[in-house]
Structure 1
């Protein structure tokens, strides 16, 4: 495992463990599986574990696993203040103390203001005394580093970057998002200020691996070096010395092994001209197929009308990345065999999801398009018949 320095010279593993996508057993996290995976990752050198207050069960699972295996002092915990839920100065402490309890620790190594999208959200926190609160927590060593995670455009990222003396930041960054979100502009601006950058969504919610169109997959096969789509995406990031750590939501031992291998081999400057050209070709192929740039993060949920927004967009994109039949079949299954109707047709354009979307997608408009494409008239009839004879 390679390591890069944080702002104060502490070593962070080049690969970080994103804890939002632990495998579920029923409605709960599969603790036995998650424990084996976390232990294995630590053994291979991963020392940065990212979670958040709003990742259902994630903080508690991580805290229990670290405590039970005496791993707390071997890793860095990163978690996040749900600033979008903060209504008063008192609630800041309440959320923080709850997180300490869930994580079974007396300090947070890297604490983030979660999902800042504009400087107005930071200014709201300032009015509630967040700067004095941060100073107090850092003085007591309950927080070691303070940062923010960002979803928005590059211009707004620069405003937030300059609004406080941050220790680090976290951005969505991958070769599809080089010129969107914080993007390369944000990455370079943070590096110029000496602020470490943690990267999330390196595979863009799986779109740079499992959901690639056939012509993009063919380009990787033709390349002939035996590198996987995931390896190419990670190498593109590790090639850039301004990237401090790349988070991956790993949920299999095989995935951990491969990702750790790449993080041990790929150094800054590792990309050659052939690889750069290959990634450029892959980007063009993907951009020609994807209809909605949804990463499946789930920040838009829950929908007041019960629409399963990420799944709708996943099915919709599958129509064009794979084929219409596979996307429609997946959507039909979702619509016909669930107890509650969770299709795009239930959207009433209330706009609640738009305010929370990190990608700034016009979700109601895209849901209308998806509904028309996924359910032509003859499939609507079939779906109605299937629901008529459901057995719940």
Structure 2
């Protein structure tokens, strides 16, 4: 079989280890990949798995003014194709409902991709159903190639239903990583069987066994790993920490970059807890795993934002559970698919710092509860969320496409 082009918004990205994990897993299953990225990397570091990936990377111009000759060549190539009229009609239909600069940019990127896509590419697969899928859909129409998608979280819940419906109809098949996502996308599909539930899971061979926390004393260490963005609810975590009884001995550590970092630091100052809070910024996965192993509690108070954005099944929750941490999160999206209340963690309703504080106090003051939740979670997550079944299924779907094309 020829190569598969996997289209992503940016590569490599520290916050998207699941994408790198899938690409490397497909390579190990004998599938040759070309990575197509809509933008160049912005993170200063990479995870070890990025260094293992063998695929070439094709970077498209992020903005059309970045490389006018390249964009003009792509446009001329596309306009000369017999498929251009049908693609442009689809674009005009989309533009009538979304007259944004971004829509024009995706058209330009699609034309560049169609021109520069190597001849041995026989299928396009895209991560995220929003802008990357627009580029992929237009380029696939131009080149007469089938395409498929993996949908995750923001791309689903911040996209209008009409756009999701059209993209699902145009794709050959799609996968998504939570039951909640699958139910919604199937409700929009021309054929619900097109949308498969495929948990991306974790490669537990890369993760150590949980550490022994039985002899620890001193301050209880509370960890949060996640970008400083609204849907992670990190401000709710800070407000909950500020509500804890004065006599409790705890420390809070946050790992992750993001637009709200400075605002969150200022909030910690106003709440009077800044001396107990450490902000470590974005880190490579090896450092994140060491932080899980130092911690006693993991907190991620996810929430649905005003524009509908939300987490899917956060990898960090699974990673924390794998390291035997007692996890505290919220009852949204797919979190209940991984946390079973009072068995593998604790959950409270979103946007309730008061209830979050109560759950935190319970965990901080009860080491036996932390041990029980962490040990059960570590066992269950390894049983249910190994990456291998999902990767095997993705490889089978892509191989089936190759067999049909041959």
Confirm or deny a common fold (TM above 0.5).
no
Which protein has the larger Cα radius of gyration, Structure 1 or Structure 2?
A: 2
Q: Which TM-score tier does this pair reach, normalised by the shorter chain? A: 0.3 to 0.5
Give the TM-score normalised by the residue count of structure 2: 0.32
